[in-house]
Amino acid sequence: MTNMRIERDCLGEMEIPNDRYYGIQTIRNMKVSGAAGFPVVAYPDMHKALCQIKKACAKANAGIGAMKPEIAQAIAAACGKVIAGGYEKEFPLDMWQGGGYTCVNMNVNEVIGNLANEMLTGHKGQDMVHPNTHVNMAQSTNDTIPSATHLAIAPRLDKIVCEAEKLADAFEAKAKAFEHIVKVGRTCWQDALPVTLGQEFSGFASAIRRQARALKALRPGCFELIMGGNAVGTGLGAQPGYMEAFYKAISAELGESVRPNPNLFDGFQNSDFILTVSGAVKTIAATLSKICKDLRLMSSGPRAGWMEINLPACAPGSSIMPGKINPTVPEMVIQIGHQVCGNDVAITMAIDEGELDLNVWDATFYKCLFENLQLVGEEIVILRRDCVEGITANESRCKEEAESSIALSTVVAATFGYPQGVEVAHYCEKHRCNVKDAVVAMGLMTQEQAEILVDPSLMANPEKMAPIVARFKKELGILI
C-alpha cells in the first residue's frame, strides 16, 4: 500500500496521506483556516448529528431505490463507527470557517465515504463510494448543518435541565434547613423588613426551577428540521418519497418524533430558533450570576462584612494574606455569565445579518451557542456540588442584624401611622437604640407589647403578623 492516494474535486487533484480518512476538500480548508486554534469537533455534537442524518439519508435513499443497498449499508456502518468514537483526529477543521460550514459537511462526507469505500473495496478512495454523489445524496450543506445543529442542541438542553433541577433541589434543602433563621432583608443595599434565610433560598430554588421549565419547553423545536429542502428549500436533488423516508428513518435512529419545518423556505431563511435557545440559556446564566452575587454578599467578611452565611472553602484566597478565603465558585459563575451574554450578542448579530434564502453564519451560531451550553451545563454542577450543598448559616449574626434594623419601625407605621413610624426611626438614630427599646421609651407600647409586635420572626410571617397587628389596633382603639 502506498503512503499517498490521489483525490479529485472541482478545483483539481491532490495527493492525500493514505493514513487519513479525510480528503481533498478538508485539506484545502485546513490551509486557509486556523484562526482560533480550536477545532469544531471540540464540541462533537454537530459531527454526531451529521452522522445520524447521513445514516438516515442513506437508508432513505436505498429505501426509495435511489442508492444501491450495499453502498447505503456501508455508509450507515461508517456513520455508526464515527458515532461510536475514535475518529476525532479526522475532523481537524478550525471552529471559524466561511461558506456556511460547507467544509464541515464535506469533512464528514469524506470521512464517511473513505470508511465506506474501505469496507467495500479494502482501500480508501472515491471509486465506489463518493463523498458528494453518495454520502451527500439528496442533501446540501444548507439543510444538513442547520438540521444537525438543531439535533445537537437537544442533549445539551437535557443535561442543563437535569442539573438545574438538582440545583433547585439543593436550594430547597437549604431553604428548609434555614426556615427558622431570621435576618434583615435588603433592598437597594439598605436595611429592609426582616425575612428568613429560608425564604431567600426558596426564591433561589424557584427561579432556577422556572428557568429549567423554560429550557425544557424548547426541546420539541430541536426536532423540527429542514432536511429535504436541499439548497434553498425547493428540494432539488431528492427523488420522490425521499422526505417521508428520511423522517421515518431519522425518527427511528433517534427514538424521537422528528418532523420537517412546516415552511422550508422560512427554515432556510431564518435561524431564530438558535436565538431563542441562546436567550433562554442566557437567562439561566444571568439568573445564576445574580444568585451568586447574592451569595458573595451574604458571605462577605468574615469580620467586616455581612457574614450571614458561610461558603465552603475551596482554596486559599490570597498569596499574601494568611487565612483569606475567596468565594471562588460564585465568582466563576459570574464570569461565565459575562461570557454567555457576550456570545448571545454575537448570535443576535448573526441572526440579523442573515440575508435572502439562507443564513450562512453557522460558525457564529455553533461556536457561541455550544460554548454557552457547555459552560452553563458544567457550572451548574460545580455550583451545586462545591458551593450550595456545603453552605451553612451564621444564625447569631443574622439574629443580631434583624433585631437592630431600624426598618422594624415599619410595624409602628402599620399600627400608628407613617408619621409615628418616622419619629421612631429618628429616635433610634438619635439615641443609637433599637426599635423595640424606642417604642417603649417613647411610651407607644409596653415592654410586653413590644416583645410581641417588634419581633423580626413575626414580621417575616405575614400570615401571623397581620391578625396580631389588627388585634392590637382594635384593643387600643386605633383607627387610622
Say yes or no: 61 and 162 in one domain. no
Whether residue 300 lies inside any domain: the answer is: yes
What pLDDT is recorded for position 474? 86
207 and 321 housed in the same domain? yes
Are 208 and 332 within one domain?
Answer: yes
What number of other Cβ atoms are within 10 A of residue 374's Cβ? Answer: 15
461: left (phi over 0), alpha (psi -120 to 50) or beta: beta
The 3-state DSSP class for residue 86 equals coil
pLDDT tens for each residue of 344-397 = 999 999 999 999 999 999 999 999 999 999 999 999 999 999 999 999 999 999
- Between CA 418 and CA 412 the distance in angstroms is 8
Query: What is the CATH classification number for the domain harbouring 356?
Result: 1.20.200.10
Q: Hey, CA dihedral for 49, 52, 56, 58, is it positive or negative?
A: positive
- Distance between CA atoms of residues 338 and 288, nearest Å: 11
CATH code, domain carrying 424: 1.10.40.30
Q: Does residue 417 sit within a domain?
A: yes
Residues 171 and 301 in one domain: yes
Q: Are residues 434 and 342 in the same domain?
A: no
297 and 154 belong to one structural domain? yes
144 lies in some domain: no
End position of a domain, from candidates 369, 395, 421: 395
> Where does a domain end: 137, 172, 201?
137
Q: Quick one: 309 and 412 in the same domain? A: no
Is the same domain home to 382 and 423? no
**The domain boundary residue, chosen from 331, 360, 395:** 395
Q: Is residue 34 domain-resident?
A: yes
pLDDT at position 150 over 80:
yes
Residue 51 and residue 83 in contact, taking contact as beta carbons nearer than 8 Å: yes
Report which of 431, 430, 435 is spatially closest to residue 403, judged by C-alpha positions: 435
In a domain? residue 243:
no
Together in a domain, 181 and 285: yes
Let me know: does 154 contact 377? Beta carbons within 8 Å: no
User: Tell me, what's the pLDDT at 141?
Assistant: 97
Confidence of residue 469 (pLDDT cuts 50, 70, 90): confident
pLDDT value of position 42: 97
Please tell me the predicted confidence (pLDDT) of residue 152: 98
Instruction: Give the three-class secondary structure for 75.
Output: helix
Phi then psi for residue 34, to 5 deg, are 115, 15
Question: Is 239 inside a domain boundary?
Answer: no
Characterise 106 by phi-psi region: left (phi > 0), alpha (psi -120 to 50), beta (else).
Answer: alpha
Read off the pLDDT of each residue in 52-70 and give the average, rounded to a whole number. 98
Same domain, 391 and 410: no
With beta carbons less than 8 A apart as the criterion, state whether 446 and 440 touch: yes
Cα(152)–Cα(362) distance, integer angstroms:
13
Name every residue whose Cβ is closer than 8 Å to that of residue 414 and which is 6 or more positions away in sequence: 421, 469
pLDDT recorded at residue 472: 85
Q: Which residues are catalytic?
A: 318
Q: What value does the CA radius of gyration of the chain take, rounded to a whole number of Å?
A: 31
Query: pLDDT digit string (tens) for 216-264?
Result: 999 999 999 999 999 999 999 899 999 999 999 999 999 999 999 999 9
Give the 3-state secondary structure of residue 59. Answer: helix
Closest residue by Cα to residue 115 from 89, 76, 144, 70: 76
Residues 31-53: b if buried by 16+ CB within 10 A, e if exposed: eebbeeeebbbebbbbbbbbbbb
pLDDT surpasses 90 at 479? no
The average confidence (pLDDT) of the chain is 96
Q: Do the domain assignments include residue 261? A: no
Q: Give the mean model confidence (pLDDT) for residues 158-166.
A: 98
Residue 480 has pLDDT above 70, yes or no: no
Q: How many domains does the structure of the chain reveal? A: 3
- What kind and span of H or E run contains 364? helix 362-386
* Whether pLDDT at 473 is above 90: no
Share of the chain above pLDDT 70, in %: 99
Sequence-distant (6+) residues with CB within 8 A of 405 are 184, 191, 192, 194, 435, 456
3-state class (DSSP) for residue 225 = strand
Query: Is 256 within a domain?
Result: no
Grid coordinates of 37: 486554534
> Which residue range forms the structural domain that includes residue 432?
405-476
Give the tens place of pLDDT for each residue, 188-198: 999 999 999 99
Q: Are residues 198 and 287 in the same domain?
A: yes
Query: What CATH code is carried by the domain that includes residue 124?
Result: 1.10.275.10
Same-domain pairing of 440 and 318 = no
